[in-house]
């Protein structure tokens, strides 16, 4: 099964005060950490959508299975970045992983959702922690055209999730890392603590 990931890294990071993709994440830029997690989890290729300070973000990225895609319309909203990423995907994929750079995820969690998606031949897969959905989201490639029609007016990817709510494959997890999201410097510091405590699943801690 061939899987590509779209990593959204185009925003202006207004509330954070500095570009989120370039934040230090345990010794490397956050964007590179996210790329490594996706590839380690079994994703075949990662497409990083850039916009604000695109050159600096691109310079922070390394790897042969990674491409950057510049979204010139990034100020118009996240849906434009999703669509820019979709346009760059190869033709022969089976599923799409969607993740934002400010949602740091360890590879074990991404792999857990990926494995469940493949095993159940799901339309959409999403981790769930304490009754609340998290990220990453995984979509069957058959939803690509529907994803390509999203807009800010129609609430972006949420509209696709609503349209297929009965088909979502919820992957239960007992880790709060599934819902990490960073918009401010305080949230960034808190997220580092949660991530460090959940970098490996609980059953691996004794290894």
Whether 206 has a pLDDT exceeding 80, the answer reads: no
What pLDDT, on the 0 to 100 scale, is given for residue 207?
40
Return the number of other C-beta atoms located less than 10 Å from residue 129's C-beta: 18
The superfamily (CATH) of domain 3-196 is Spore Coat Polysaccharide Biosynthesis Protein SpsA; Chain A (3.90.550.10)
**Angle made by CA atoms 40, 28, 135, in degrees to the nearest 5:** 50
Residues 59-83 have pLDDT tens digits of 999 999 999 999 999 999 999 999 9
What pLDDT, on the 0 to 100 scale, is given for residue 126?
98
Three-state DSSP string of the chain:
CCEEEEEEECCCCCCCCCCHHHCECCCCEHHHHHHHHHHHCCCCEEEEEEECEHHHHHHCCCCCCEEEEECCCHHHCHHHHHHHHHHHCCCCCCEEEEEECCCCCCHHHHHHHHHHHHHHCCCEEEEEECCEECCCEEEEHHHHHHHCCCCCCCCCHHHHHHHCHHHEEEEECCCHHHHCCCCCHHHHHHHHHHHHHCCCCHHHCCC
Length of the chain: 207
Whether 14 has a pLDDT exceeding 90, the answer reads: no
Whether 36 has a pLDDT exceeding 50, the answer reads: yes
Over the Cα atoms of the chain, what is R_g?
A: 16
Average model confidence (pLDDT) across the chain: 94
User: CA-CA distance, 50 to 42, in Å (whole number)?
Assistant: 23
Pairing of strands 124-129, 168-172: parallel
What pLDDT, on the 0 to 100 scale, is given for residue 199?
80
Tell me what the mean pLDDT of segment 80-103 comes to.
Answer: 97
What pLDDT, on the 0 to 100 scale, is given for residue 205?
43
pTM of the complete model = 0.94
Domain range list for the chain = 3-196
Whether 44 has a pLDDT exceeding 50, the answer reads: yes
What pLDDT, on the 0 to 100 scale, is given for residue 15?
87
Q: Which residue has the tokens 């058959």?
A: 142
Q: Who wins on pLDDT, 201 or 192? A: 192
Tell me what the mean pLDDT of segment 165-183 comes to.
Answer: 96
Instruction: Check: CB of residue 139 under 8 Å from CB of residue 118.
Output: no
Tell me what the mean pLDDT of segment 98-107 comes to.
Answer: 97
What pLDDT, on the 0 to 100 scale, is given for residue 47?
98
């Amino acid at each position: 099964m061939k899987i590509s990931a779209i990593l959204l890294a185009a925003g202006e990071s207004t509330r954070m005060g500095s570009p989120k993709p370039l934040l230090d994440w345990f010794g490397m830029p956050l964007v590179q950490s996210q790329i490594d997690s996706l590839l380690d989890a079994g994703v075949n290729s990662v497409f990083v959508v850039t916009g604000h300070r695109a050159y600096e973000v691109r310079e922070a990225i390394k790897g042969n299975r990674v491409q950057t895609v510049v979204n010139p319309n990034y100020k118009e909203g996240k849906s434009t970045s999703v669509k820019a990423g979709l346009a760059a995907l190869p033709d022969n994929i089976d599923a799409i992983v969607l993740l934002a750079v400010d949602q740091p995820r360890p590879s074990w969690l991404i792999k857990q959702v990926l494995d469940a998606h493949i095993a159940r031949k799901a339309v959409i897969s999403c981790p769930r922690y304490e009754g609340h959905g998290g990220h990453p989201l995984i979509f069957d490639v058959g939803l690509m055209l529907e994803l390509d029609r999203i807009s800010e007016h129609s609430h972006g990817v949420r509209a696709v999730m609503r349209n297929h709510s009965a088909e979502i494959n919820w992957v239960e997890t007992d880790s709060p890392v599934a819902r990490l999201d960073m918009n401010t410097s305080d949230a960034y510091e808190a997220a580092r603590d949660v991530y460090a405590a959940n970098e490996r699943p609980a059953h691996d801690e004794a290894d």
